[in-house]
């Protein structure tokens, strides 16, 4: 059965709006095969991109990479057919997906480096600023704990423009590198205006609030930590998807601050329902570790006990 390009376009929009991730992926896969069968190359390009996003939100990261590769091949086949916005969007998407490849042990670091060289070459050829590329390379260096390399890419990132104002994920990179390096004091200082509500972004400051939970608790700033915790929970209660690591940070904070039962309440059962299908190794490992810490603390703890995240001590 053949569907017209217009019908498929409508189906693509409908599928992209579906709430259920599994059903959304199936519907988008359907659009891709119909678009391929009908020879609607440009529609297939956009459907693949949307499907890849659905896979990543739906925890199936490895399925997104062949789609990215197909889109890059399609673009290379007809570079002049793509407008500047489409081209930039493709490269930004590439830069978003590329760092997560480093999480998969099947891919060697040399291969990751080669992928980044391809990414960088494409940015250079298109005449774009390399800020996004350096940010992605910095994240990979942080992931493998190569702190000298991380510092070098960080400096390159800053030299190319550094964090974009109003972008919470760029600001997160600034905070995350400090927290991962153990520099709690500087992280608290940098994050303070965000946690106080004096500085805002185009998206909720959930990643900052999550990352700062333990540094604040370690510094004995329980009131601030409790406010950050409630802010993060509020931000994560909407439809915006967050990676498992952020949920893990909530569980870990609850576990380590005497709020074990609260930690069990914050979406644990919902996240565990989809956990077995999460195939991004670092995310899986971090979340599993957080839940393990929470479970360890839960054993032998009396119900009803609450620490600083509970209202009583907020």
Cα gap 29→16, rounded to integer Å:
11
Q: 113: part of which helix (H) or strand (E)?
A: helix 109-126
104 burial (CB, 10 Å; 0-12 / 13-18 / 19+) is middle
Tokens of 116: 């980044």
Q: Hey, which residues between 211 and 240 contact another protein (CB under 8 A)?
A: 227, 230, 234, 238-239
CB nearer another protein, residue 112 or residue 179:
112
Using the rule CB under 8 A, is 289 a contact of another protein?
A: no
Closest among 270, 208, 263, 260 to 235, alpha carbons compared? 208
Please state the closest distance from residue 183 (CB atom) to another protein, in A.
Answer: 29
* Binding residue (CB under 8 A) for another protein from 4, 6, 20, 189: 20
Residues binding another protein: what is the number (CB under 8 A)?
49
* Binding residue (CB under 8 A) for another protein from 7, 78, 92, 118: 118
Q: What is the DSSP letter of 108?
A: -
CB nearer another protein, residue 231 or residue 307:
231
Please state the closest distance from residue 101 (CB atom) to another protein, in A.
Answer: 7
Using the rule CB under 8 A, is 5 a contact of another protein?
A: no
312 burial (CB, 10 Å; 0-12 / 13-18 / 19+) is exposed
Q: What is the DSSP letter of 63?
A: G
Exposure string over 298-308, b if 16+ CB within 10 A, otherwise e: beeeeeeebbb
CB nearer another protein, residue 41 or residue 218:
41
* Binding residue (CB under 8 A) for another protein from 83, 148, 269, 303: 269
Using the rule CB under 8 A, is 36 a contact of another protein?
A: yes
Please state the closest distance from residue 151 (CB atom) to another protein, in A.
Answer: 26
Helix %, strand %, coil % of the chain (to 5): 75, 0, 25
Cα 15-269-58 angle, rounded to 5 deg: 25
Cα gap 29→155, rounded to integer Å:
41
Using the rule CB under 8 A, is 69 a contact of another protein?
A: yes
Using the rule CB under 8 A, is 281 a contact of another protein?
A: no
Phi, psi (5° rounding) for residue 240?
A: -65, 125
Count of Cβ atoms closer than 10 Å to residue 180 Cβ: 15
Q: Hey, which residues between 140 and 199 contact another protein (CB under 8 A)?
A: none
Cα 55-72-88 angle, rounded to 5 deg: 90
* Binding residue (CB under 8 A) for another protein from 27, 43, 141, 191: 27
Using the rule CB under 8 A, is 79 a contact of another protein?
A: no
* Binding residue (CB under 8 A) for another protein from 155, 193, 270, 305: 270
Residues that bind another protein (CB under 8 A): 1-3, 18-20, 22-23, 26-27, 29-30, 32-34, 36-39, 62-63, 65-67, 69-70, 72-74, 76, 101, 104, 106-107, 111, 114-115, 117-118, 227, 230, 234, 238-239, 267, 269-270, 273, 314
């Amino acid at each position: 059965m053949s569907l017209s390009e217009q019908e498929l376009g409508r189906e693509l929009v409908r599928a992209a709006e579906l709430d259920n991730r599994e059903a959304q992926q199936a519907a988008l896969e359907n659009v891709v095969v119909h678009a391929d069968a009908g020879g609607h190359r440009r529609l297939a390009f956009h459907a693949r991109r949307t499907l890849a996003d659905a896979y990543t939100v739906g925890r199936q990261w490895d399925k997104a990479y062949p789609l990215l590769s197909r889109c890059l091949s399609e673009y290379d086949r007809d570079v002049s057919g793509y407008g500047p916005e489409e081209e930039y969007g493709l490269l930004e998407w590439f830069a978003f997906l590329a760092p997560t490849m480093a999480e998969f042990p099947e891919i060697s670091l040399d291969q990751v480096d080669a992928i980044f060289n391809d990414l960088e070459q494409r940015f250079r050829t298109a005449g774009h600023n390399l800020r996004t590329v350096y940010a992605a390379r910095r994240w990979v260096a942080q992931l493998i704990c190569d702190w000298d390399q991380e510092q070098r890419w960080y400096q390159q990132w800053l030299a190319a423009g550094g964090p974009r104002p109003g972008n919470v994920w760029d600001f997160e990179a600034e905070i995350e590198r400090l927290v991962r390096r153990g520099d709690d004091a500087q992280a608290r200082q940098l994050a303070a205006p965000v946690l106080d509500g004096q500085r805002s972004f185009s998206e909720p400051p959930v990643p900052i609030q999550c990352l700062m939970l333990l540094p604040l608790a370690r510094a004995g700033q329980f009131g601030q930590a409790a406010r950050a915790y409630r802010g993060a929970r509020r931000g994560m209660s909407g439809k915006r998807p967050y990676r498992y690591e952020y949920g893990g940070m909530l569980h870990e904070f609850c576990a380590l601050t005497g709020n074990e039962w609260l930690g069990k309440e914050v979406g644990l059962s919902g996240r565990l329902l989809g956990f077995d299908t999460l195939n991004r190794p670092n995310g899986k490992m971090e979340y599993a570790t957080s839940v393990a810490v929470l479970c360890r603390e839960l054993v032998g703890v009396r119900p009803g006990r609450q620490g600083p995240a509970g209202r009583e001590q907020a």
